[in-house]
Amino acid sequence: MKKKRNRAAWLFLAPSLGGVLIFYLIPFGDVVRRSFLTAVTGEWKGLDNYKTVFQNEAFLLAAKNTARFAICCLPLLIGAGLLLAVLIAGHRRLKIFLSAYLLPMAIPSATVVLVWNMLFDRWGLFNGFCGRIAALAGWGHAFETDYMETGAAFWVLIVSYIWKNLGYTVTLWLAGLLSVPEQLKEAAAVDGAGRGQIFIKIVMPQLLPNLYTITVLSFINSFKVFREAYLVAGSYPHESIYMLQHLFNNWFVDLSLDKMAAAAVVTGAVMIGAILLLQYLWERDEGGPE
């Protein structure tokens, strides 16, 4: 009976595993192979491509910006999602709020870019608003800054990322909040625990698996921020938002496939290492996912 169950399980998993093998693992294996070869002749170069990548200023800048983006975005996105989920968890119009939060995910990137231009262009709404305030205050100062050409572009990108991805974060937090048994919270309240103590001692331990899932998904998605920045500023945006995706796109256009393969392997290794480390830290805790 056990063998039949195992066989049935493998039959159900086979299509998914086959797709992962054909469309992910085998192509990535070919990328690893190409990272040790020249782009044109296919000659063996060993670790020369990796040395070239780590000495490349564009790669170092893109890696720094991508890491900075992930470090800044993850706490803000996770914290804002948890706060909003707690605020709307017991609301009678919960579905309406969820629809509003999930709406940005359905908006095409081109529309998001149009909003960016309307807000932060030299003649955009934000400069117009600031200029109106300055005029009312008697400062007489005109605001004509193109924010996508300054260091502020980095924070504009962060706000756009959080706005677009907040919906699924709130949804995942809500799934955890609504699964916490009411009996546990009622028993703690009867024992004299306040709302803050109930949330910290009862609710949060139940949310650790959700926190793990949200953190991993948000970390992976933070490496995919490219379309909006590319559509706004092209292949070479302000250096504060020059991400790894810009680098890969430019190297692909230049047919620098050897450098691109080496950089892709390094990026993949960092992502896998970070996820495995996070999983290890969670599993070491008794409240982590099994």
pLDDT of residue 107: 80
pLDDT of residue 11: 85
**3-state secondary structure at position 44:** strand
DSSP 104-140: HHHS-HHHHHHHHHHHHSTTSHHHHHHHHHHHHHT--
Q: What percentage of the chain exceeds 70 in pLDDT?
A: 93
Is 2's pLDDT higher than 70?
A: no
Is 210's pLDDT higher than 90?
A: no
Does the predicted TM-score (pTM) go above 0.75? yes
Could you report the per-residue pLDDT of 140-199, keeping only the tens digit for each? Answer: 566 667 777 788 889 888 888 888 888 889 999 998 888 888 888 888 888 777 888 888
> Which pLDDT band, with edges at 50, 70 and 90, does 289 fall under?
very low
Whole-number average pLDDT of the chain: 84
Q: Which pairs from 257-261 meet CB under 8 Å and 24+ separation?
A: 257/34, 257/39, 258/34, 258/35, 258/37, 258/38, 258/39, 258/45, 258/49, 259/39, 259/49, 259/52, 259/53, 259/56, 261/31, 261/32, 261/34, 261/35, 261/49
Is 123's pLDDT higher than 50?
A: yes
Is 207's pLDDT higher than 60?
A: yes
Average pLDDT (192-209) is: 84
pLDDT of residue 124: 74
Furthest-apart CA pair in the chain: how many Å?
84
Contact 74, 215 (CB under 8 A): yes
Could you report the per-residue pLDDT of 252-287, keeping only the tens digit for each? Answer: 888 888 999 999 999 999 989 988 888 888 777 654
Could you report the per-residue pLDDT of 31-76, keeping only the tens digit for each? Answer: 999 999 988 888 898 899 999 999 999 999 999 999 999 999 999 9
Query: When comparing pLDDT for 33 and 118, which is higher?
Result: 33
Contact 240, 151 (CB under 8 A): yes
**3-state secondary structure at position 153:** helix
Is 288's pLDDT higher than 50?
A: no
End-to-end CA distance of the chain: 26
Is 3's pLDDT higher than 80?
A: no
Could you report the per-residue pLDDT of 91-101, keeping only the tens digit for each? Answer: 778 888 878 88
The tokens for 95 are 């579905």
pLDDT of residue 267: 92
Average pLDDT (112-130) is: 76
